[in-house]
A and B are shown apart, each in its own frame.
Chain A
Amino acid sequence: MSRRRRGRRAVLAAGRLLGLAIAGAAGAALVVAAAPVSLVAAAAVTMAWAAGWPPRRLCQAALWCLPMVAVWVAATAAAAQSWWQVAAGPYRAWLAMWHLAAAGSVLRAVVTIAPVAVPLGLLVGALAWSRRILAMQTGTGGLTPRAPAAFDRRQWRHQVRSARARIAAPGAVPLLSRQGAIVAGAVIRTVGHAPAPLAAIPYQRLRSHQVVIGTTGTGKTTLLLRLWAGFRARGLQRHAAGAGHRPLLVVLDCKGGADSRRVADRARRVLREAGARSTAIWPDEASLSLWALPPRQLTTTLVDMIEHGSGSAAYYADVMEAVVALAVDPPAGPPASAADFLARLDPGWLSAAYSGSPDGQDAALLRSAAAHISDIALRFRTLFRRLGEGLDGPGGFGDADAWYCILEGTSEIAVAEAQARALVDILASYTAQGPGSQREILLAVDEFSAVSRRLPIWQLYERARSLGLALQVSAQSWPGLAPRDDDRYRIAATADGGIWLLRTPHPEPATGLAGSLPATDTSRRVLGVASWGHEGSSRVRDTPVANPAIIRSLDTGQAAYIYRGGVTFVQIKRLVAAPAALAREPTAPGQPVSRTAATRPTAAPAGREPPAAPPPDAGTLLDEAFGQEPG
């Protein structure tokens, strides 16, 4: 390399350095000269970074400043003598600000420049924050190659912190928004959905099918309770306004056990505050009547509740169906209870019931099936003994505002399967033929796949669709949705109301349904503001809308709501219901205890009846009122 060439390079380098120094100095001078705007912009970017806000939120804040700007312009115009003075208003305010600051009146200086500096600073901050995010998304920002990933993790933490602060603020997250949407909680982050502080789901989405997936302890029950309460409250509002029928919530909890009963109790309290006057807990406190089904449907349901074999056993299934049909629909009318039905499974009773039948077909059928009737009666007697009294009436779905049905799908699968089949048939009959057609019904099923052998879940889905029921299917995992993968995809793909994902180890099939978004990777250099170099290249690739890694790492009470190719990450707001009851006041030491307390046992072994203490003799009073006890 010649000496002249080296000299020219040195001159060019020095010139470039000088140019950079001049640009830097000019930039610094501009920042100092526009100090109010710079300060507001810096504060805005810092706040957006700390709270994990999107740039759009800063723009919205700038828009909210418009009334202040309008007032300021009006005041300036009123004081000015010409339009030129109005146009020069910002400059004059800026000049006045410096003069006041120099004179030591800092507060007056701030007030003078604020109408101009605040909106402008917010806009500048939004621009700077969006550039920062873009630089991180394209991998061109940060000091190290790992900076974009670290930036995203940090922003997630900030967004979660903001969302938690929002739901912790009293009254910040109502159950229903002003527009009547059901508010699930505070938004952490949105991808493909419009950013908003609160995650509000329109009522109509709850009237469609929804899927909820989340393992135990992730806040699934909290989410479901909120959605149910929102459905109930909004449905009542619409009903009161004449815009819809009265809502009815039916929950099939297919796990059973003490945990289900605790959830049922919580649901009752939450729903009571959402306007449900009565929540029936089946089968513990309320019963339904299987015998209210139309005879044909009752025959089908009864036969399906019994386990059948295949192959040659189909013959016995046909015989059973024929005998059950005879017992259910004789000329005397259908049975009114299990005992009534069992009494009919007797050759003598059936012969007498059909003795007056004009065509001899029923009698012939009876003769050929007579040998099996006692076996069929035995099977049904066993079934009803195991089912208990929950399906033996009285009662129907119209008797309560909400039904919480507990099926022992974990401990007694065969019984729970039969119960599930019967409950769905009763609900279908209520909806199709009864007053249920005048109700807006949400059927929520939890872990239904555990009891779906007699009623495949896809069949439940199709029936719900045809009957106009909204179906909400929840499961602890993707495989828990349905026994077969085809059915799982069918359920998830037809969830018009959206999919809720809580922490689950295998979210990929569900997140795949959310689709993907184009993202750009680039190796081009950023030369300055809105200026990119021509060296390098860019590549557009598809990234999942719902990042499975985020869903796998969701904390308790966080959920991803997937709907129409977008996802909203939500920090769910827990509904706090009134306490179950006031605790008994403890008796202070030395205080006299009442006679009742003294004569009654204070403790009894769990699960056993308290021992009976003989009460004081009330014979004189009772003799006076009713005479002596009969011998």
Chain B
Amino acid sequence: MSGPEAAGKGSLIHRRYVFGLLLRLCVNFAGGVGILFVILFFALSRPLPGDYAGVFHALRNLSPFLRPVLAVSVLVYALLAFGSTSALCVYILHKVAGPLYRMELVLDQYRSGAPTRTVSFRHDDQIQPLAHAFNQWVGALRRDRQRWLATMKDAERHCLQDEATCHTKMEEALRKVAGDMERYH
């Protein structure tokens, strides 16, 4: 078994999905930096007095005032960027998290012994091969089960004849089924 081999087929997570995520992330971070720039621009672009002394005093007073301004603007940037990135994560990653959650439910249902229906994800979900592989596995199990039952049923038809033939055919059927079950390990 090799994960990278299956992943190498490129169908688990589409490139388009990854590029879309990176693009949205780029726009998101650019927006955050843009907001930080706007805050700092407004904080710093207050006109200075025209004369040398006025400029000197204004700049000397501005220096300690800038520290909290910078801290608050970085905090605003961090909160905005965090909020929008969280929303982006939830919005984008649900195309992986949703199918995973769905598969977990199906596996729980399967283990509980309840009838399991064919699994299908939403058309734009990622990790589609997972549903196909699960359906393939359950399909193979069901085909084998039907074959075993058909073999047993076929042996039962001989019970309309005499008891000895019936028993012989049943034992033959059992040996066939046992041989068939050998492939499971």
Report whether chain A binds chain B.
no
Chain B residues close to A by CB (< 8 Å)? none
Chain A residues close to B by CB (< 8 Å)? none
